[in-house]
Amino acid sequence: MRSTSVLRAVPRSARPASAAAPAAASSRAISTSHHAEAELADNKRFLAHAKNERPVWTALRGSSLLNEPSLNKGAAFSREERDVFGLVGLLPHEVHDLEMQCKRAYFQLHQRGTPLSKYTFLSSLRDQNQVLFYNFALRHLKEVLPLIYTPTVGEAIQKYSQVWRRPDGLFLTYADKDRMRELMFTSKRPKDVDLIVVTDSEGILGIGDQGVGGILIAIGKSNIYTLGAGIDPARILNVVLDVGTDNMTLLNDPLYLGLRRSRIRGQEYDDFVGKFCDTVRECYKDAFLHFEDFGVTNAGRILSKYREKQSCFNDDMQGTAAVVLSALMSACKVTKSELKDQRICVFGFGTAGQGIADGIRSALMLEEGLTSEEAQKCFWVIDRPGLLTTSVDPATLREGQSNFLRDKEEVADWNRDPEKGITLLEVVKKAKPTVLIGCSTMAGAFNEEIVREMSKNCDRPVIFPLSNPTRLAEADPSDVNEWSSGQALMATGSPFPPIKNHQNGQLYKVAESNNALVYPGFGLGVIAAKATQLTDGMITAGVAALAKLAPALEDPHESLLPHLKDLRSVSVKVATAVANAARAENVSNAKRTTDFSEDEIRAMMWDPVYRPLELVEK
């Protein structure tokens, strides 16, 4: 049994800068890095905190300490620490602080020629030294984010079985369904988990069913939770529910590592997912459950079934909806209009499109006071059959889609394409939308005729071509800017180059509707409040907090969303709003009588800095 008796505490005066004064050292490292593309002026203070002075006790010594990624400091171990922990001779002579380590990592990263090789390097870095990986990623967030998440992780997922080296995460296979609780407990005890990210891998990043390789998407999301909201990586459980795959390429690959059978469907599937959710709710009751990339036929259904039973969240539906709603609220403030007065056209009504519509509808009812029927009249949604109306066969609709149907009599005299029904152009001409949201993955769908037609009927049209990757976007923002004479307010689903302001000729950044701006804050807020649910009211509170940070509120030609370089400060504000909404709605198990402050939320975050280590006997 571990004793707390200190065999030899590292003297404060002897600790290296990276341990004795992690805040100051980290701040210097950030400000002096020649390669940092993300301007970390704001993040500097988010790595400086008194809690980082507290020592970490460990009984590990020698190679065991070097092989523990949450404690390993590599060449940053001081001479005294090397002495105390038996590291002399196991490390090269020189002591290099975190700043020097990040410079070395940057050099090593750029020796890799392809995004996939850079991804594998960064994954290896995380597996060796968590502090270095996350500190490095924050310094170079703009450059690193596409490598550790979309789009590069998609390539890594597709090649998962071919390049696999070591296990990471928890693999819950249908073949082991009767041992689920045992396997979860063996992986991590309930008291050690704040966040569970789970996928069944059926709807990955626009590349579809990827079987067991989906574990990498869970890990990618977890990286963003840690970078954005300081969720301790040691307290995150990444899970893939391996229920087989319908991807014949994988099934025919002799190297495939997952369950080699077609996907479990129907009641068997529901029972398996239900058993997992029940185990989380009963045993990991304080953990936030994040559903990621479930298939279109299951995502909304599973969320609806469990969201009132436990604190759970579907990023593809709720996260996407939240960040788009925030951009839309910012646009409303710029145009000095009300959300309830918008005429909203959603083009593409899959998981993302429906999720966005649901999020806006909830805000219209919660914040604007509209009834369900009144909110329904704000929408025109277009999918494969064209404009969805009450003439659609109810059997072809997914749960919740009936909330967005237009009355067939209302559009009886509208023109119809024999194959496509009522088209987007016809809706733009007749409904005169003020907001156009694209989730169709149909490149170029928002063409010049549509944008010019929309601009005729609206002084400042709101146009969001959200499909990603970039090649699938409904329009290029530079074209939309030109066709609307610089009046369109835009947000995109992928990063695009800055575009020119028609009035002053200056370049400005188009808002990137990146879910990373919102879901880390949701998670931190739920964890802080020990919330039993993530309610619509909590989501709306977080969205409102994000909308207040839009640069466009100061300059109407600027971005409708804050920049990713401010991710940690953004997450604190979102989390504070979410936690306080949980308390107001009585879904918080945190024992307190006052609201959470931003300082309290900030103090709960894990920071990627080296803390002092003290050795204890077992």
Is 149 annotated as catalytic? yes
Confidence class for position 555, pLDDT limits 50, 70, 90: confident
Residue 252 annotated in ligand binding: no
Residue 457 annotated in ligand binding: no
User: What average pLDDT does the segment 361-377 reach?
Assistant: 94
Per the residue annotation, which of 73, 103, 118, 221 is the catalytic one? 221
Confidence class for position 25, pLDDT limits 50, 70, 90: very low
Tokens representing 239? 């899970």
Q: Tell me whether strands 499-500 and 507-508 are parallel, antiparallel or unpaired.
A: antiparallel
pLDDT at residue 48 is higher than 70:
yes
pLDDT at residue 19 is higher than 80:
no
Per-residue confidence (pLDDT) for residue 396, from 0 to 100: 87
Per the residue annotation, which of 106, 119, 134, 149 is the catalytic one? 149
What fold is seen in the domain 152-310?
Rossmann fold (3.40.50)
Residue 135 annotated in ligand binding: no
d(CA 377, CA 373): 7
Per-residue confidence (pLDDT) for residue 507, from 0 to 100: 86
Is 610 annotated as catalytic? no
Within 458-611, residue ranges assigned H as helices are: 477-483, 519-529, 536-547, 567-584, 598-603
User: What average pLDDT does the segment 98-116 reach?
Assistant: 96
d(CA 396, CA 393): 6
Cβ atoms of 543 and 575 closer than 8 Å: no
Helix H, strand E, coil C: the string for 480-496 is HHHHCCCCCEEEECCCC
pLDDT digits (tens, 9 = 90+) for 283-317: 999 999 999 999 988 998 999 999 999 999 999 88
Residue 514 annotated in ligand binding: yes
Per-residue confidence (pLDDT) for residue 44, from 0 to 100: 55
User: What average pLDDT does the segment 572-594 reach?
Assistant: 96
Residue 293 annotated in ligand binding: yes
User: What average pLDDT does the segment 235-259 reach?
Assistant: 98
What are the start and end residues of each CATH 1.20.1370.30 domain in the chain? 6-128+612-616
User: What average pLDDT does the segment 547-551 reach?
Assistant: 95
pLDDT digits (tens, 9 = 90+) for 414-464: 999 998 999 999 999 999 999 999 999 999 999 999 999 999 999 999 999
Name the burial class of residue 559, with classes exposed (0-12), middle (13-18) and buried (19+) by CB atoms within 10 angstroms of its CB: buried
pLDDT above 70 coverage of the chain, percent: 93
Return left, alpha or beta for 68; rule: phi > 0 is left, psi -120 to 50 is alpha, else beta.
beta
pLDDT at residue 29 is higher than 80:
no
Tokens representing 172? 């819950």
What are the start and end residues of each CATH 3.40.50.720 domain in the chain? 321-517
Confidence class for position 219, pLDDT limits 50, 70, 90: very high
Range name among 82-91, 123-132, 547-556 with the lowest pLDDT average:
547-556
pLDDT digits (tens, 9 = 90+) for 376-409: 999 999 998 999 999 998 888 888 899 999 999 9
pLDDT digits (tens, 9 = 90+) for 333-366: 999 999 999 999 999 998 889 999 999 999 999 8
Within 260-381, residue ranges assigned H as helices are: 266-283, 299-306, 320-335, 351-366, 372-376
Per-residue confidence (pLDDT) for residue 45, from 0 to 100: 60
Confidence class for position 205, pLDDT limits 50, 70, 90: confident
pLDDT at residue 584 is higher than 70:
yes
pLDDT at residue 206 is higher than 80:
no
- CATH code reported for the domain at 321-517: 3.40.50.720
pLDDT at residue 18 is higher than 50:
no
Per-residue confidence (pLDDT) for residue 1, from 0 to 100: 35
Per-residue confidence (pLDDT) for residue 43, from 0 to 100: 55
User: What average pLDDT does the segment 42-57 reach?
Assistant: 80
What are the start and end residues of each CATH 3.40.50.10380 domain in the chain? 152-310
Task: Out of 3.30.70.2190, 3.30.2270.10, 1.20.1370.30, 1.10.287.40, select the CATH number for domain 6-128+612-616.
Answer: 1.20.1370.30
- Supply the mean pLDDT for the chain: 90
pLDDT at residue 9 is higher than 90:
no
pLDDT at residue 4 is higher than 80:
no
Name the burial class of residue 104, with classes exposed (0-12), middle (13-18) and buried (19+) by CB atoms within 10 angstroms of its CB: middle
Name the burial class of residue 167, with classes exposed (0-12), middle (13-18) and buried (19+) by CB atoms within 10 angstroms of its CB: exposed
